């Protein structure tokens, strides 16, 4: 293996030695290279003096490790200036920094083997140097402990059940560590944070950053956001219930239709209003289907209306930090798990099933019938909002609503 020795007079010596070489033999090699007598050499590793009779492997010295050599001669640098404390930090961090700074070869080696420490040494923060040295000491100590445990297991009694369990756990952990190292090398993006999909929208003229979630059955707006958008006055409390997803939240009611602006085009949208202070606006599967939306991750855009409008998904820097913390709460608030019992229909009675695939009231077929009635009456020339109000007034009776509209017309 190869070790690097830094002397008190800023000389760097690289030696190829056997892991089981004695410290005394290493000092003999250094005597040839540095002209410092063996008796005057003091070798330090991790702040601890190495005695002549000890072996390098027994001290935990590994390939590419750094040793410090201080001279006992009066003209040499004091040992306490270039030594290390028991916790791995430098006794004199300023002297340690100065020694390494003045040797371009050592700085180059550090940039290859430990760029973080090299950057700290070139900086002016001595506390940072001490922090990194302590961290490296802890890492080496942990690695040494693991090796000692592996060595102990290697010679363990093959008939000892507990020892075999530890060997099995060690083999499993080794496989996990190898898998982690392979992922870190070949698939590093897997460790990056995944930002959820947000787009800019306007709800009733108020700009919002909408969380696009195809895993939520219904489009959701919080009570505070609905109030800010001036929609709370349209809240139909007959659609109360419980939204069940990852967690559960109370449904305060439903806003049947309001304009949302995506790009430069307005679209009708309906919302469930939740008492969820941790979530603002969630664009769910119901509206994604209704407006034929396409989530294009290759181009990183949301296409609406089969492609007539394309809006880019926001980058992380454009998303408020509180939104990033709210993603978990938004998933909990989503009604992807359906509704619990207790939701009421338009007549005020409780549905038999109590469960809603659309996340609102009754069944999807009932909602589709209601939309079909609206479409028929709108074709007769009436405004959509007036049609909805008339149908609600007559509990969905299409003929009575039409008579009322014609009479008012």
Q: What are phi and psi of 69, to 5 degrees?
A: -115, 120
Contact (CB, 8 A) for 23 and 63? no
* Complete DSSP assignment for 126-157: HHHHHHHHHHHHHHHHHHHHHHHHHHHHHTS-
Q: What is the CA radius of gyration of the chain?
A: 36
Residue 407 half-sphere exposure, CB side, CA atoms within 13 Å?
A: 7
Who contacts 8 (Cβ-Cβ below 8 Å, separation ≥6)? 69, 70, 71, 76, 77, 82
* Closest by CA position to 286, among listed 203, 217, 332: 217
Contact (CB, 8 A) for 14 and 65? no
* Closest by CA position to 80, among listed 65, 96, 66: 96
Please give the Cα distance from 133 to 241 (Å, whole number): 58
Q: Are strands 281-283 and 206-212 parallel, antiparallel or unpaired?
A: parallel
296 labelled catalytic: no
Local structure of 249: helix, strand or coil: strand
* Complete DSSP assignment for 232-292: GGG-BGGG-EEEESSSEEEEEEEEEEEEEEETTEEEEEEEEEE--TT--EEE-HHHHHHTT
Look-up of token digits 């109370």: 250
Which positions are catalytic?
A: 213
């Amino acid at each position: 293996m190869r070790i690097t020795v830094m002397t008190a007079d800023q000389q760097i010596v690289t030696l190829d030695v056997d892991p089981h070489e004695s410290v005394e033999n290493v000092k003999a090699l250094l005597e040839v290279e540095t002209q410092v007598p063996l008796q005057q050499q003091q070798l330090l590793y991790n702040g601890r003096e190495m005695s002549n009779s000890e072996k390098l492997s027994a001290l935990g010295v590994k390939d590419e490790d750094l040793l410090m050599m201080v001279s006992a001669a009066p003209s040499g640098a004091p040992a306490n200036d270039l030594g290390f404390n028991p916790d791995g930090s430098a006794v004199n961090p300023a002297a340690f920094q100065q020694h390494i700074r003045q040797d371009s070869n050592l700085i180059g080696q550090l940039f290859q083997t430990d760029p973080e420490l090299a950057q700290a040494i070139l900086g002016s923060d001595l506390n940072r140097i001490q922090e990194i040295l302590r961290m490296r000491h802890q890492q080496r100590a942990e690695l040494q402990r693991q090796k000692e445990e592996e060595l102990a297991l290697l010679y363990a009694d093959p008939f000892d059940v507990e020892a075999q369990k530890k060997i099995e756990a060690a083999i499993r952990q080794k496989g996990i560590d190898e898998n982690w190292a392979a992922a870190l090398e070949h698939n590093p993006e897997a460790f990056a944070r995944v930002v959820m999909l947000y787009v800019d929208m306007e709800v009733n003229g108020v700009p919002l950053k909408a969380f696009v979630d195809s895993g939520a059955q219904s489009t959701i707006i919080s009570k505070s956001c609905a109030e800010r958008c001036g929609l709370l006055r349209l809240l139909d409390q007959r659609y109360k219930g419980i939204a069940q997803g990852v967690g559960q939240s109370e449904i305060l009611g439903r806003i049947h239709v309001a304009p949302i602006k995506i790009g430069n085009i307005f679209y009708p949208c309906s919302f469930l209003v939740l008492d969820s202070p941790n979530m603002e606006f969630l664009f769910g599967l119901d509206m994604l289907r209704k407006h034929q939306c396409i989530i294009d991750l290759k181009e990183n855009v949301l296409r609406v209306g089969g492609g007539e409008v394309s809006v880019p998904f926001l980058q992380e820097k454009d998303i408020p930090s509180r939104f990033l913390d709210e993603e978990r709460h938004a998933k909990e608030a989503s009604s992807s798990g359906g509704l619990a019992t207790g939701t009421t229909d338009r007549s005020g009675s409780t549905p038999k099933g109590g469960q809603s695939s659309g996340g609102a009231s009754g069944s999807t077929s009932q909602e589709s019938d209601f939309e079909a009635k609206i479409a028929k009456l709108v074709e007769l020339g009436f405004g959509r909002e007036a049609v909805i109000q008339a149908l609600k007034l007559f509990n969905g009776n299409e003929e009575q609503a039409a008579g009322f509209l014609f009479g008012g017309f």
